[in-house]
C-alpha cells in the first residue's frame, strides 16, 4: 500500500557523505553483529569515538534477541576502527538490554546516556567513563522514558538533559513530546519542562524527541530532534512484519542561558529518509535517527545517524546553514 502522507525531503544544506552509503555496518564488526545503528559520537582526547547499537536480531516469536553496545575510534570521523569486543552490555533477570547510546563530553569527562528495556518498563540511564572499558552508572530514570541526551556544559551549576517520556495511560496512544530537566549531580533530576510538542512540528503526528546532543552556537543551543509520523496506509516497510512509521530529523535553537526557552523550530525536515539505505533496505525502512553531532573548527558539522535501524551513516552541513534551517531562513 502506498502512503497517504506527503513525501518529505532533506534540506538543501545537508550533504550525505559517500552519497549516503553507510560509514559502519555489521560486516565491519569482528564479533556477532546484525543491525548496527543509532550511534553516539563525540571527540574525546583527540580522537573521534563512537559507541553504536548492535541488535543481534528480531523474530516475531521471541522479539529482540539482545543488544550490545560496540566501540569504534577514528582519526577523521569517517573511517572507523572497531574494537574487538562490545564495551557495554546490561542484561539480567530484570534488564533485557541497553541501547541507543549518546555521548557528551562535559569538563573533560565522557558521559553516555542510553535506553534500558526492563521487565517493568523502559528507563533512561546515564553513565560516565574515562577508558570505555569501565562505566560508572550515575542514574537510571523511572519508566517509561528514553532518548536522553546531555548538554555539553553545565548551566547555572546544573547538568541539563533532554528526554522523551512516554505517557501512554493518560493519552491512550503514542503521542510523545520532548522535555528538559536539570540536575546538580546527574542523579537527582527536576524542574521538568515541556519544550517541544508533537503539535509544534508539521512533519510529526506521533512523537518528537531528542536526537544528537546539542552544540553551542552564538545564536543558541543548536539541537536536532527526531520527528515521527505514522500512516496506517504504509503497510509493511522493511523486514519487520508491520512498520508504518517514518522517522525524520528537525533542528531547533534553544536559549543559551535558559535552554527550556525555544527560540525557533524548523518547520521542514532537516534530514528525511531518501537514499536506498534509508527507504528500501533494512529492518525498519523510512527511518533516519541522528545520535551524534560534531562541530569542527572549520564550521562544518558532522551529523551521524542510524538508517533503517540497520546501518550508520554520516551527513554534513555548515553550522551557519543549520542555524538558518532552524530559523526557517532556508
Parallel, antiparallel, or unpaired: how do β-strands 207-210 and 300-307 relate?
unpaired
CB of 318 to ligand BMA, least distance (A): 27
Q: Of 117 and 321, which CB lies nearer to ligand BMA in the complex structure?
A: 117
Q: Where are the beta strands (DSSP E) in 190-260?
A: 190-196, 207-210, 215-217, 220-230, 245-254
Question: With binding defined as CB under 6 A, does residue 164 bind ligand BMA?
Answer: no
CB of 147 to ligand BMA, least distance (A): 8
Tell me 176's DSSP state.
B
Instruction: Please give the backbone phi and psi of residue 16, each rounded to the nearest 5 degrees, phi first.
Output: -85, 130
CB of 114 to ligand BMA, least distance (A): 11
Strand order in the sheet with 15-16: 15-16, 311-318, 300-307, 288-295
Q: Of 183 and 223, which CB lies nearer to ligand BMA in the complex structure?
A: 223
Query: Site for ligand BMA (CB under 6 A): how many residues?
Result: 8
Q: In this structure, how many other beta carbons lie within 10 angstroms of the beta carbon of residue 33?
A: 21
Q: Of 29 and 39, which CB lies nearer to ligand BMA in the complex structure?
A: 39
When binding is defined by CB under 6 A, the residue of 163, 274, 309, 312 that contacts ligand BMA is: 309
Query: Which residues in the 82-101 window bind ligand BMA by CB under 6 A?
Result: 100
Q: Of 37 and 48, which CB lies nearer to ligand BMA in the complex structure?
A: 37
Q: Of 13 and 271, which CB lies nearer to ligand BMA in the complex structure?
A: 271
Q: Of 71 and 311, which CB lies nearer to ligand BMA in the complex structure?
A: 311
Q: How far is CA 193 from CA 7, 127, 178, 199, in A?
A: 32, 23, 9, 16
CB of 57 to ligand BMA, least distance (A): 14
Query: Which residues in the 226-285 window bind ligand BMA by CB under 6 A?
Result: 247, 284
**Measured CA angle at 226 (ends 223, 231), to 5 deg:** 155
CB of 202 to ligand BMA, least distance (A): 20
Q: Of 153 and 174, which CB lies nearer to ligand BMA in the complex structure?
A: 174
Query: Which residues in the 37-56 window bind ligand BMA by CB under 6 A?
Result: 38
CB of 53 to ligand BMA, least distance (A): 7
Cis peptide before 144 (omega within 30 of 0): yes
Query: Which residues in the 285-304 window bind ligand BMA by CB under 6 A?
Result: 287, 289
CB of 117 to ligand BMA, least distance (A): 9
Instruction: Report d(CA 322, CA 126) in Å as an integer.
Output: 28
Q: Of 126 and 253, which CB lies nearer to ligand BMA in the complex structure?
A: 126
Instruction: Report d(CA 16, CA 304) in Å as an integer.
Output: 10
Instruction: Report d(CA 240, CA 228) in Å as an integer.
Output: 17
Instruction: Report d(CA 287, CA 211) in Å as an integer.
Output: 13
CB of 92 to ligand BMA, least distance (A): 20
Instruction: Report d(CA 154, CA 160) in Å as an integer.
Output: 7
Residues that bind ligand BMA (CB under 6 A): 38, 100, 247, 284, 287, 289, 306, 309
Amino acid at each position: 500500500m502506498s502512503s497517504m502522507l506527503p513525501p518529505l525531503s532533506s534540506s538543501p544544506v545537508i550533504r550525505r557523505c559517500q552519497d549516503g552509503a553507510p560509514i559502519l555496518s555489521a560486516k565491519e564488526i569482528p564479533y556477532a553483529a546484525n543491525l548496527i545503528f543509532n550511534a553516539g559520537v563525540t571527540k574525546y582526547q583527540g580522537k573521534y569515538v563512537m559507541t553504536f547499537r548492535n541488535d543481534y536480531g528480531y523474530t516475531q516469536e521471541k522479539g529482540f534477541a539482545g543488544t550490545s553496545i560496540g566501540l569504534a575510534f577514528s582519526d577523521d570521523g569517517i573511517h572507523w576502527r572497531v574494537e574487538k569486543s562490545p564495551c557495554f552490555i546490561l542484561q539480567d533477570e530484570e534488564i533485557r538490554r541497553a541501547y541507543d547510546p549518546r555521548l557528551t563530553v562535559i569538563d573533560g569527562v565522557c558521559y553516555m546516556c542510553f535506553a534500558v528495556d526492563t521487565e517493568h518498563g523502559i528507563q533512561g540511564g546515564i553513565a560516565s567513563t574515562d577508558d570505555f572499558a569501565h562505566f560508572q552508572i550515575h542514574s537510571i530514570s523511572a519508566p517509561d522514558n528514553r532518548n536522553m541526551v546531555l548538554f555539553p556544559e553545565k548551566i547555572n551549576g546544573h547538568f541539563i538533559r533532554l528526554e522523551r517520556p512516554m505517557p501512554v495511560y493518560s493519552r491512550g496512544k503514542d503521542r510523545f513530546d520532548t522535555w528538559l530537566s536539570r540536575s546538580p549531580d546527574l542523579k537527582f533530576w527536576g524542574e521538568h519542562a515541556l519544550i517541544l510538542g508533537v503539535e509544534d512540528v508539521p512533519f510529526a503526528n506521533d512523537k518528537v524527541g531528542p536526537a544528537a546532543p546539542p552544540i553551542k552556537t552564538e545564536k543558541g543551543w543548536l539541537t536536532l530532534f527526531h520527528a515521527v509520523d505514522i500512516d496506517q496506509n504504509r503497510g509493511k516497510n522493511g523486514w519487520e512484519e508491520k512498520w508504518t512509521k517514518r522517522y525524520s530529523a528537525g533542528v531547533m535553537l534553544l536559549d543559551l542561558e535558559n535552554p527550556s526557552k525555544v527560540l525557533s523550530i524548523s518547520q521542514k525536515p532537516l534530514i528525511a529518509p531518501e537514499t536506498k539505505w534509508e527507504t528500501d533496505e533494512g529492518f525498519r525502512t523510512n527511518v533516519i535517527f541522528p545520535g551524534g553531532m560534531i562541530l569542527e573548527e572549520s564550521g562544518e558539522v558532522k551529523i551521524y545517524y542510524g538508517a533503517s535501524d540497520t546501518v550508520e551513516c554520516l551527513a554534513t552541513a555548515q553550522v551557519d546553514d543549520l542555524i538558518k534551517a532552524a530559523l526557517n531562513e532556508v
